[in-house]
Structure 1
Amino acid sequence: MCVKSFLLTLLVGFGTPMEATAQGFGGLGTQAEGFAIPAPDPLFDFPADHGSHPDYRIEWWYLTANMTGADGTAYGLQWTLFRSALGPYVTSGWDSPQIWLGHAAVTTPTAHYTSERFARGGTGQAGVIPAPFEAWIDDWHMRGATFDTLDLRASGPQFSYDVALNAKGPVVFHGDAGYSVKSAQGQASYYYSQPFFDLAGTLTLPQGEVSVTGTAWMDREWSSQPLASDQTGWDWFSLSFVDGDKLMGFRLRQSDGTYFTSGTWITAQGQTTPLQNGAFNAEPLDITEVKGREVPTRWQVRVPQYDLDVTVAAANPQAWMDMAIPYWEGPVTVNGSRSGTGYLEMTGYD
């Protein structure tokens, strides 16, 4: 995400949940003594930076997809691998401080299927290799000869998917050349995306196999303290418009009722313009009760400098990720001054 999900910091040991507070989501707003801290003017090194960065506390490989079946039915897909370090040291085997967490989901117009996996670092159960690229946890994997051509698999009790991803555009960098600021106090992450994947493959659902085609968006982010102590949650949007342009935008909700926002406007050719705090605007229009929580599932999104004024609506308002720490994540439709599809992630609606 953009800020993307935090969930790895929820485990202080294998099977021992950390208390999750509204503030900082299990520690993302706390100090990160001993860990590396993102700094301005990053120098990315590919393919090495597609791999893991164990000297930073948290990291994720986060893919979402908007797909269509042969009959026109719309589907959403999520595959995420999170890494979190319990301490700023490197050891091997069961002594490794690295914790891994995998999330997978498929969303249909009437159902939302999810699954979750946990692993301890150093055992081979989960990990990431930059070249040839492979990210895995148990039998879930994302792998390919390069980061641009990947095979993706995951399964849960009621679903599985096996799809191929092919990048049709460049990797793009958010913030200042990949240095993405998340608060007025200066918390930040390193953040880039591959938002130009074409997708084709098969979903297996309770009603049978479904051939799908569509587009996918991968986020890569790592940091050690990406939230400020007064930030209580975020709303993150990745939108793809029919003319080929794209928008990543998020707002971080603060305890005093204000917001810190950031975003990136991405042209169809992959050129980017950062959207500074206040340039991206997202306001809830409709609230839905989801698993006993009130969650905004229809939004008005505006970016005045691009004459963007759209309504972003959940394709399935009940797309709740009922995981170790719950959050909302699902496909959306876009209508208004532009049309398209995308994904929305919302945290902190407890």
Structure 2
Amino acid sequence: MSADGISRRAFAGGLAALALARGAGAQGYAGLGEKADGFAQVVPGKVFSFPADHGPHPEFRIEWWYLTANLVDSNGAPCGLQWTLFRQAAQPGPQGEGWANQQIWMAHAAVTRADTHRFSELFSRGGIGQAGVAATPFAAWIDDWEMKGTDRTDDRSLAPVTLKASGTDFSYALALEADHPVVLQGDGGFSRKSERGQASYYYSQPFFRARGSIAIDDKPVDVSGQAWMDREWSSQPLDADQTGWDWLSLHLSSGDKLMLYRLRQKDGRDYPFGNWIRADGSTRMIAGSDIQMSPKATVEVAGRKLPVEWQIAIPSRSFSIACKPLNPRAWMGTGFSYWEGPISFAGTHDGVGYLELTGY
């Protein structure tokens, strides 16, 4: 469905209080900074275990499985897609049965070309089998949207998997492979989000190779390219004075990967962080003091001015790039709205990636 055709991210009942995962208005982001009494807390030193940590963590309030893909179609035209499944617990405590289950699920799917951006959104209550995630064999689903493993899926890399979703005027299906294990973000998977200690558990699979098809207005085309999956869970990922974030996942033509974000605060200051992921899968954290992220151009979408072009520099790595969106109007007009779309970049390094803008 087109970006003009639906309104976005209103997470019925329990989700309205907490602007789930990547996108929201001010009320939603206030929810992300609310205290999380009764829920499990994110603390340093967690030892990740796979496949278990590919599955759900219902003792935490918020969780997501978030994939973006930078693709080229058979005509050589760039395009992108997003597939995201969110889980939120409406209240802490033992899991209820059936309709009494307190887990609420939401999913977003989108495809983006230079000339169009289409998206769709689904919701489900937990406990009835309509949505969920299983660690072994891996499967994440809501209705007929799914990310699904096979008997060949490796627990360390979460690959291979297949991916599919559809809206009223688009659909896609991908096969994803990867040769490297998943990458722990932050300090061994402990990803600090503020100076006051808010954090998430966070890992990524930035090495997916993608092949499949996208159909827009019932016109299918073969696609191939690169994909990046983020996994996070937390109970209070933001502080009360944080309003949103600017987030980038970058595929460098050298084979290296780069994750960057800055969390914006009400006082005008930012909390930036980065992780340089080498082509061999090894990582190096980048201090916030060494990250320069400067918006260079805005576009007005849905009554908001959004910084869709950026100049980014990391002086310690002699890194300086300019980023431009494939489609400046890649607005996710769901309940708690956000901007999410493919970008390209050039400068000391070049490549493609995804940009996410929330809280504007």
Q: How does 1:193-208 map to 2 (within 5 A)?
A: 193-206=204-217, 208=219
Contact kept? 2:10, 2:336, Cα under 8 Å? no
Deviations 1:6-62 (A, max 9, x none): x9894434xx84486526615110100000001101111100000000000000000
For residue 140 of structure 2, the aligned residue among 131, 135, 154 is: 135
Could you say which residue in structure 2 is the equivalent of 1:222? 233
* SS class of match (2:31): coil
CA contact (8 A) 1:313 1:333 kept: yes
- Rounded Cα–Cα distance in structure 2 between residues aligned with 1:228 and 1:74: 37
Name the residue aligned to 1:187. Answer: 198
Question: Relative to 1, partners in 2 of residues 1:179 and 1:8: Cα closer, same or farther, differing over 3 Å?
Answer: farther
Which of the numbers 71, 77, 83 marks the counterpart of 2:81?
77
Aligned to 1:118, which of 113, 120, 123? Answer: 123
1:50 maps to 2:54 = yes
CA distances 1:163-184 after superposition (whole Å, capped 9, x unpaired): 1000132211111000000001
Question: Structure 1, residues 72-99: CA drift from partner, whole Å, max 9, x if none?
Answer: 1000000000000011122121001100
1:154 to 148, 158, 165: 165
Do the aligned partners of 2:291 and 2:312 also contact (CA within 8 Å) in 1? yes
Letter in 2 for 1:41: G
C-alpha contact 1:9 1:27 (8 A) present in aligned 2: no
Amino acid at match of 1:292: G
Deviation at 1:278? 2.3
C-alpha distance 308-63 of structure 1, shift in aligned 2 (>3 A) = same
2:180, 2:323 → 1: CA distance?
24
| Runs ≥4 residues deviating over 6 A | none
Q: Pick the aligned partner of 1:107 from 94, 99, 112.
A: 112
**Structure 1 CA distance, aligned partners of 2:276 and 2:101?**
39
Change in 2 beyond 3 A, CA 1:108/1:244: same
In the other structure, the counterpart of 2:22 is none
Kept in 2: contact 1:187–1:227 (CA 8 A): yes
Q: What is aligned with 1:86?
A: 90
**Given that residues 260 and 277 in structure 1 are in contact (C-alpha distance below 8 angstroms), is that contact kept between their aligned partners in structure 2?**
yes
CA contact (8 A) 1:23 1:230 kept: no
Cα RMSD of the aligned pairs, angstroms, is: 1.6
Structure 1 residues 9, 187: closer, same or farther in 2, change over 3 A? farther
Between the aligned partners of 1:317 and 1:8, the Cα distance in structure 2 is 20
Structure 2 alignment gaps of length 5 or more: 1-7, 20-24
TM-score, structure 2 as length reference: 0.92
Q: Which residue of 2 aligns with 1:25?
A: 29
Secondary structure of 2:53 counterpart: helix
Contact 2:9 / 2:334 at 8 angstroms: preserved in 1? Answer: no
Q: Which position in structure 2 is the counterpart of 1:3? A: none
Q: State the alpha-carbon separation in 2 of the partners of residues 223 and 179 from structure 1.
A: 10
Deviations for 1:193-230, whole angstroms, at most 9, x for unmatched residues? Answer: 00000000011111611100001000000000010110
Instruction: Give 1:293's aligned residue.
Output: 304
Match of 1:302 among 304, 313, 323: 313
Q: Is the 8 A contact 1:240 1:341 kept in 2?
A: yes
Query: What percent identity do the matched residue pairs reach?
Result: 52
Which residue of structure 1 aligns with residue 70 of structure 2?
66
Equivalent in the alignment of 1:329: 340
Structure 1 counterpart of 2:13? 12
Is the 1:23–1:232 contact (alpha carbons within 8 Å) kept by the matching residues of 2? no
